[in-house]
Structure formats: C-alpha cells, structure tokens
Amino acid sequence: MRTYKFRLYPSEEDRRKLGETLERCRRLYNHFLRELNEQDDIPPRYELQKELPRYKEEHPAYKQVYSKVLQMVLHRLYGNLRSLSKKKEKGYPVGRLRYKEKGWYKTFTYNQSGFTIIKTDTRLDVLHLSKTGEIPPRMHRGGRGRSSRSLSNGTPVGSGTPASRPTTGGNGSVEAVWSP
C-alpha cells in the first residue's frame, strides 16, 4: 500500500471544530480510562461502546462528534491496554495508563465512513468530515481505489513538517492529518 500526504487548509471555523473534536476525544478517553481503573475486570470493548449513546445523551456536546470517531477512541484505549499487557507478559515493569492532559491527545480517526474527498477541477479538492465540515487539501497527486479511513492528527505548527495533511494510499485509503 502506498501513502501520500497532502496539506490541509482549514478555515478558522474548521480549526475551532477540529480542536473541539480533539478535546472531546481526549475527555472521552480519560472518562473511560477512569471507569476501567475503578473496575476489577476489564469488560470487552463492545460493552463500553454500547454505553456511548447514553453518554452522548448525558453530554449533548458529544452529539457534535461523529459516532465512529468516538468508537475509535475506545479502540485506541483498548489498544493501549493490549500493548501494556503484552509488555507485562514479556517481563517488562509496567505501571498504569496515564490520563491524557491537554496537548497530549493529538489524534482522532474517521473509520470506514463519515468522510469523503470531493473532486474539483483544481488542485484544491475538498475533504468532507461528517459533523466537522469541508476542508480543502492541496492534492498534488491523485489516489486510486476507495477511501477507507481518515485520521486527524495534531502536531506542533512550525515543527518543520506541513501543518496539516490528508493522506491517500495506493489502495485508496485516506488519512487526514491536521495540526491545531
């Protein structure tokens, strides 16, 4: 699979929405990590995913975040737990997962659906992220196939890398990477 990176150009409103989504994902991660720390046995991820609709009802701001993005937060949390347990099995000293403070949770993922790349006649096509908006990337290459994933990642602006970029793979997979 080949991956291409393209720079995104979000408006101020889009930057605000992306930042709010990132913050809500961070808070959700910390909420469910706290719940897992309070329990003796770790339930299957799907049990916690069943709680997401109730959580969204209790916290209406989370209705502004696409449901698959919230599910991927739990997927990430359980992936971190899996990595920790594998290290423990190999004999490494491990502690507990840490809560993500502001600035330490930098990625959210649109998995399977909720995003599309809308082709235009110019190099500035449009990446549509459900419940976030449309953000123009500069498409210097075209991807083939279908889009399967979109990821938004915050890296420090001015670090020498493009501030924001979506990625499209040779098989059509897409990652959208953004910096606050």
pLDDT digits (tens, 9 = 90+) for 161-170: 333 444 444 3
pLDDT score of 170? 39
Phi, psi of 128 (to 5 degrees): -95, 120
Q: What is the pTM of this model?
A: 0.79
The domain limits of the chain are 3-10+104-177, 18-89
Give the whole-angstrom CA distance, residue 43 versus residue 162.
40
Q: pLDDT of 84-141, one tens digit each?
A: 999 999 999 998 899 999 988 888 888 778 888 888 887 668 888 899 888 888 766 6
Q: Would residue 79 be called left, alpha or beta, if left means φ above 0 and alpha means ψ between -120 and 50 degrees?
A: alpha
